[in-house]
Amino acid sequence: MPRYRDLTHTARPSDAPRVIEPKNPLRTIDQGALEMLKVAQEQHIETVFDRFVAQQPQCGFGYKGVCCRICLAGPCRVKTEEGPGSKGICGATAYTIVSRNLVRMIAGGAASHSEHARHVLHTAHAMVEGNAPDYEIKSPEKLHKLASKLGVSILNREDQEIFKDVTEIAYEDFGRYQDRPLAFLESLLIEQRRNKFKHTNVMPRSIDGTVTELMAQTAMGVDNDPVNLIFGGIKGALSDLGGEYIGTTLSDILFGVPEPIVSESNLGVIDPKMVNIAVHGHNPVLSEMVVTAARKMIDEAKKVGAEGVNIVGICCTGNELLMREGVYLATSSASQEMAILTGALDAMVVDIQCIYPSVQQVAECFHTKIVTTEAIMKTPGAQHIAFNAETAMEDAQKLVRIAIEAYKNRDPQKISIPNERHKLVAGFSLEALTNIFSKINPNRPISVLTDAILNGQLKGVVQMAGCNNLRRPQDESHIAILKELVKNDVLVVATGCSAGAIAKAGLMSPAAVDAYAGEGLKSFLKTLENANPQLSTGLPLVFHIGSCVDNSRGIDLVMAMANELGVDVPKVPYAASAPEAMHEKAVAIGTFGVAMGLPVHVGAMPFIEGSDIVYGITTQIAHDVFGGNFIFEMEPQEAAKKILDALEYRTWKLRVHKQASEKFDTQIAQGW
């Protein structure tokens, strides 16, 4: 029965509770974390799970987004439906306060991703200037491709020279003052989206300028029109995407384009016989050096009685190293403290973002050294070693040495490592995927994917992303939604802590295909495997496409699918899901997903329910203007159903329009 309207974007979330069992501190389904939680309870070590419980119930005003404290006349809260109590002291109504708060979150997200990208850019720049001798251009192919897209000449030029021009364009993207769009972002977009963003006035011209403008726009006594505010937020989210794309592409050039690689995940990868160093945060610039240093320092580790140095990753630094180096992924955000509780972690080297301030307090119960490395991220009690691109290898060796020294102070009584580790295959950059598809169709590789959708073998593609949020047990929603999607023949690509959840549970392996994939997905993956005998391992149930900045890889894939199908993004059967969204970065990512024309499921309600107007803009007006919309749903089964409905609607419409264009020999309709 064809469905003529996609109802998902008008639906309210189900009545499922927003917080499951608020007083229960057993808030994870990760087996490794559960084992460590017992240790924490026995030893009375406080963790994030205890603090979550202690915070319940959380503030109702904050939850609805109607608390304002952006000026010293506040804090103001919207207390009543009507009268003076329904506004802040200055007269700001609920829709102004809610949208301002939301937009400031997007600005925070854009600033975070872009700061990460800026650091990679500084490193690239130092390298081309000859000031960072420990770095090199690992992928000239990626450099040439990117340079061509940016209009930089590559003919008869040295790679260093080309890269210099590319870094200059990236710097301009941060601080351009002329009225020209972000060059990196523009090079990523298909023409229809470029025009859409231009006509709706949301195309950013500089990243720093946009974030600053948003802070100014949302200051006391400035913009109070919710539509104008939200459109400002969309511009901010697009500058976030521009920053992400700079981060991903420059990291690929410096550290290599990921290719399929075998590794393992969960806390069992911490090895009692080795010096164990966790690299935690987001930025590969430092951690890549730590990996290289560790490989060179085995003898030093042996001198203190260890067999070698074992680097394990946490959060997105972990994802970056897993994708390119096959480094073990120890754990993801909500269970970061658990890595220390094993008693066998000698050092945790952190860079930026998603690092709980509590890791230092937990580390003080053990011999573990916490080392901060970036000027904008320090922790009282932790050691700080400023990391410089100029002295990268020297700095990295210092860090490894701190861990080797700490190893001597290990207390064997306190070691308790969960016996939980799972094989996985990661490393699916768009280049790697295209290469795999090209073995079936060398001229139009992406048609292998779009044809499988058009002929019904696959239902579509879903990009699973985002964090852990303890309103429901850690990882539960990621895993439940994933299982439902793959059972229904959806090809899943994953990033960030969603990829982490899937990997830790053993679902990112070829073995999981037989256990969980529907017949269509199974046969699709088998066909790819048979056409690719060069792969040393089978294909996994889920394609890991990287860290959170690598959500730009997903957008790159959507653009390729839209191009192949000859339609704008809102007709492509591609959706995104952040089942446990937490960070401001996730708010920015979700928003650019919607602007890009995708249905975006979010499983942790953002603070917008205090304003029907803002809720309506995110779920309905966004769809009218951009073709994408948020689907807010906390209950995982219900969420999976809504995501599948959104894909089904798109596939149905795409087929109808395709058939019509073939029958009447006309261009395929571009509307949605």
Q: Which positions touch ligand SF4 (CB under 6 A)?
A: 68-71, 73-74, 76, 88-90, 92, 220
CB closer to ligand SF4 out of 61 and 615: 61
Q: Are 139 and 575 in contact (CB under 8 A)?
A: no
How many residues can be counted in the chain?
672
Binding residues for [4Fe-4S] cluster: 59, 67-68, 71, 76, 90
Strands 369-372 and 347-350: parallel
Which partner, ligand BF8, ligand SF4, none, binds residue 452 by CB below 5 to 8 Å per kind?
Answer: none
Q: Does 512 bind ligand BF8 (CB under 6 A)?
A: no
The C-alpha angle with vertex 195 and arms to 106 and 577, in degrees rounded to 5, equals 40
Which partner, ligand SF4, ligand BF8, none, binds residue 109 by CB below 5 to 8 Å per kind?
Answer: none
CB of 587 to ligand BF8, least distance (A): 10
If residue 544 lies in a helix (H) or strand (E), which one and from where to where?
Answer: strand 542-546
Q: Are 278 and 314 in contact (CB under 8 A)?
A: yes
Which partner, ligand SF4, ligand BF8, none, binds residue 121 by CB below 5 to 8 Å per kind?
Answer: none
CB closer to ligand BF8 out of 104 and 205: 104
Which partner, ligand BF8, ligand SF4, none, binds residue 69 by CB below 5 to 8 Å per kind?
Answer: ligand SF4
Looking only at residues 230 through 289 of this chain, which bind ligand BF8 when binding is defined by CB under 6 A?
A: 282
From candidates 315, 392, 464, 503, binder to ligand BF8 by CB under 6 A? 315
CB of 319 to ligand BF8, least distance (A): 7
Q: Does 499 bind ligand BF8 (CB under 6 A)?
A: no
Which partner, ligand BF8, ligand SF4, none, binds residue 415 by CB below 5 to 8 Å per kind?
Answer: none
CB of 631 to ligand BF8, least distance (A): 19
Q: Does 316 bind ligand BF8 (CB under 6 A)?
A: yes
CB closer to ligand SF4 out of 224 and 438: 224
Q: Are 86 and 602 in contact (CB under 8 A)?
A: no
CB of 75 to ligand SF4, least distance (A): 6
Selected range binding ligand BF8 among 49-57, 200-208, 533-541, 579-587, rule: CB under 6 A: 579-587
The Cα–Cα gap between 337 and 320 comes to: 20
Total residues at the site for ligand BF8 (CB under 6 A)? 15
Structure tokens at 178: 């002329």
Is 346 buried (19+), middle (13-18) or exposed (0-12) by CB count in 10 A?
buried
Q: Look at the block and give the residue holding tokens 């995407």.
A: 241
CB closer to ligand BF8 out of 496 and 636: 496
The Cα–Cα gap between 317 and 618 comes to: 31
From candidates 96, 248, 287, 333, binder to ligand BF8 by CB under 6 A? 333
At 41, phi and psi to the nearest 5? -65, -45
Which of 207, 203, 279, 288 lies closest to 244, judged by CA? 207
> Which residue stretches of 256-391 are H helix?
284-296, 298-303, 315-325, 336-341, 358-363
The Cα–Cα gap between 326 and 267 comes to: 16
CB closer to ligand BF8 out of 128 and 323: 323
417: alpha, beta or left? (left if phi > 0; alpha if psi -120 to 50): beta
Which partner, ligand SF4, ligand BF8, none, binds residue 585 by CB below 5 to 8 Å per kind?
Answer: ligand BF8
Strands 574-578 and 460-464: parallel
Question: Angle 476-487/496-504 helices, nearest 10 degrees?
Answer: 80
If residue 403 lies in a helix (H) or strand (E), which one and from where to where?
Answer: helix 392-407
Selected range binding ligand BF8 among 59-67, 578-586, 621-629, 635-643, rule: CB under 6 A: 578-586
The Cα–Cα gap between 402 and 309 comes to: 12
Looking only at residues 65 through 94 of this chain, which bind ligand BF8 when binding is defined by CB under 6 A?
A: none
CB closer to ligand SF4 out of 89 and 375: 89
Which of 467, 444, 410, 411 lies closest to 590, judged by CA? 467
CB of 74 to ligand SF4, least distance (A): 2
Q: Which residues pair with 279 in a beta bridge?
A: 313, 349
How close are the terminal C-alpha atoms of the chain, in Å?
19
From candidates 583, 601, 623, 650, binder to ligand BF8 by CB under 6 A? 583
Which partner, ligand BF8, ligand SF4, none, binds residue 433 by CB below 5 to 8 Å per kind?
Answer: none
CB closer to ligand SF4 out of 71 and 668: 71
Q: Does 582 bind ligand BF8 (CB under 6 A)?
A: yes
At 545, phi and psi to the nearest 5? -105, 0
Q: Look at the block and give the residue holding tokens 């030893």.
A: 43
Q: Does 467 bind ligand BF8 (CB under 6 A)?
A: yes
Looking only at residues 100 through 139 of this chain, which bind ligand BF8 when binding is defined by CB under 6 A?
A: none
Q: Are 501 and 387 in contact (CB under 8 A)?
A: no
CB of 440 to ligand SF4, least distance (A): 57
The Cα–Cα gap between 100 and 114 comes to: 21
CB of 551 to ligand BF8, least distance (A): 9
Q: Look at the block and give the residue holding tokens 């999607």.
A: 485
CB of 219 to ligand SF4, least distance (A): 8
Q: Does 33 bind ligand BF8 (CB under 6 A)?
A: no
Q: Does 152 bind ligand BF8 (CB under 6 A)?
A: no
Binding residues: 59, 67-68, 71, 76, 90, 282, 316, 354, 467, 497, 548
CB closer to ligand SF4 out of 102 and 558: 102
Binding residues for [Ni-4Fe-4S] cluster: 282, 316, 354, 467, 497, 548
- Residue 405 neighbours by CB under 8 Å, 6+ apart: 304
Structure tokens at 117: 């990208």
The DSSP letter of residue 310 is E
At 169, phi and psi to the nearest 5? -65, -40
Which partner, ligand BF8, ligand SF4, none, binds residue 354 by CB below 5 to 8 Å per kind?
Answer: ligand BF8
Q: Does 594 bind ligand BF8 (CB under 6 A)?
A: no
From candidates 301, 586, 643, 654, binder to ligand BF8 by CB under 6 A? 586
Which partner, ligand BF8, ligand SF4, none, binds residue 466 by CB below 5 to 8 Å per kind?
Answer: ligand BF8
Q: Are 347 and 369 in contact (CB under 8 A)?
A: yes
Q: Does 354 bind ligand BF8 (CB under 6 A)?
A: yes
Which partner, ligand SF4, ligand BF8, none, binds residue 71 by CB below 5 to 8 Å per kind?
Answer: ligand SF4
Q: Which whole-number Å values give the CA distances from 457 to 453, 504, 519, 523, in the listed order?
A: 6, 28, 8, 8
Which partner, ligand BF8, ligand SF4, none, binds residue 608 by CB below 5 to 8 Å per kind?
Answer: none
Q: Which whole-number Å values give the CA distances from 114 to 45, 106, 111, 336, 483, in the listed order?
A: 35, 12, 5, 24, 33
**Residues binding ligand BF8 (CB under 6 A):** 282, 315-316, 333, 354, 466-467, 496-497, 547-548, 582-583, 585-586
